[in-house]
A and B are shown apart, each in its own frame.
Chain A
């Protein structure tokens, strides 16, 4: 084997190793990216699930609050009606008392 052929062979091997190194690096980086993207998807899923649960809890609280508001509104209306009725009854009682007093005097 002469020196030139050895040198050329070495050059070819070095060049091939360089190409293999480049491809291995690119593939390993791509695999890392794929796993990284997968990890990010999983994290997104966890955050979304948590956010959904939180929204559901808030919705439940809102439903309870709206229900309470309706009940309070209804009771307030009932209270107003009762006060009106009470006033009418008081007026009637007063009128009747007057009548009784008048009759007793008679």
Chain B
């Protein structure tokens, strides 16, 4: 019981700022690699970018907002807006991957199913992580405003 109480205490009382810093740094490194690494035709994302494709914009916007999070980490007002955008994107990805793609796509093989499930679990994890961070930030602002 002490183990679960400790987890509850961590989620309730510990601050989220170090988490934002490390996750944003990870996002910048990971997405820079994804965006700038050349593909099999020796082109990076920006060289094959289609401005009319929504899913070409998503990683670029995510990458840009991760950079802005690092730059504006001391500005709580803008940080909340950027985290809200990150949260919206994570919800968007999950909705796309979890519900919509499976409805409109052909049945998958077991191997594809495995990677699909893995991808969904990853998206669920990030969605809950960002929702938790956003909730904690908004809660802190609300409590400060009410003088609690």
Question: Chain B contact residues (Cβ within 8 angstroms of A): what range?
Answer: 10 to 19
Quick check: is A28 within 8 A (CB to CB) of the other chain? yes
Q: Which of B92, B104, B143, B148 contacts A21 (CB 8 A)?
A: B104
Quick check: is A95 within 8 A (CB to CB) of the other chain? no
Give the distance to chain A from B128, nearest Cβ to Cβ, in Å. 13
Q: Which of B92, B131, B142, B147 contacts A25 (CB 8 A)?
A: B92
Q: Which of B25-70 contact A (CB under 8 A)?
A: 54
Given A47-B142, A51-B146, are A25 and B100 also a contact pair (CB < 8 Å)? yes
Quick check: is B77 within 8 A (CB to CB) of the other chain? no
Question: Chain A contact residues (Cβ within 8 angstroms of B): what range?
Answer: 10 to 19
A76 CA / B19 CA spacing, docked (Å): 58
Q: Which B-chain residue is minimally distant from A28 (CB atoms)? A: B95
Quick check: is B96 within 8 A (CB to CB) of the other chain? yes
**Is the pair B96, A25 in contact by a Cβ cutoff of 8 Å?**
yes
Given A22-B54, A33-B88, are A28 and B146 also a contact pair (CB < 8 Å)? no
**Is the pair B95, A21 in contact by a Cβ cutoff of 8 Å?**
no
**Is the pair A29, B91 in contact by a Cβ cutoff of 8 Å?**
yes
**Is the pair A21, B91 in contact by a Cβ cutoff of 8 Å?**
no
A54 CA / B147 CA spacing, docked (Å): 11
Q: Which of B87-111 contact A (CB under 8 A)?
A: 88, 91-92, 95-96, 99-101, 104
**Is the pair B146, A48 in contact by a Cβ cutoff of 8 Å?**
yes
**Is the pair B96, A40 in contact by a Cβ cutoff of 8 Å?**
no
A67 CA / B91 CA spacing, docked (Å): 55
Give the distance to chain A from B56, nearest Cβ to Cβ, in Å. 12
Quick check: is A17 within 8 A (CB to CB) of the other chain? yes
Sample of 9 more A-B contacts, CB < 8 Å, known A26-B92, A44-B142? A21-B101, A25-B100, A29-B92, A32-B91, A33-B91, A47-B143, A47-B146, A51-B147, A54-B148
The 8 listed contacts between A and B (C-beta, < 8 Å) are A21-B96, A25-B95, A29-B88, A33-B88, A33-B91, A40-B138, A47-B148, A51-B146
**Can you list the 6 inter-chain pairs with the closest CB atoms, starting with the nearest?**
A25-B96, A29-B92, A51-B146, A28-B95, A25-B100, A24-B100
Chain B interfacial positions (CB closer than 8 Å to A): 54, 88, 91-92, 95-96, 99-101, 104, 131, 138, 142-143, 146-148
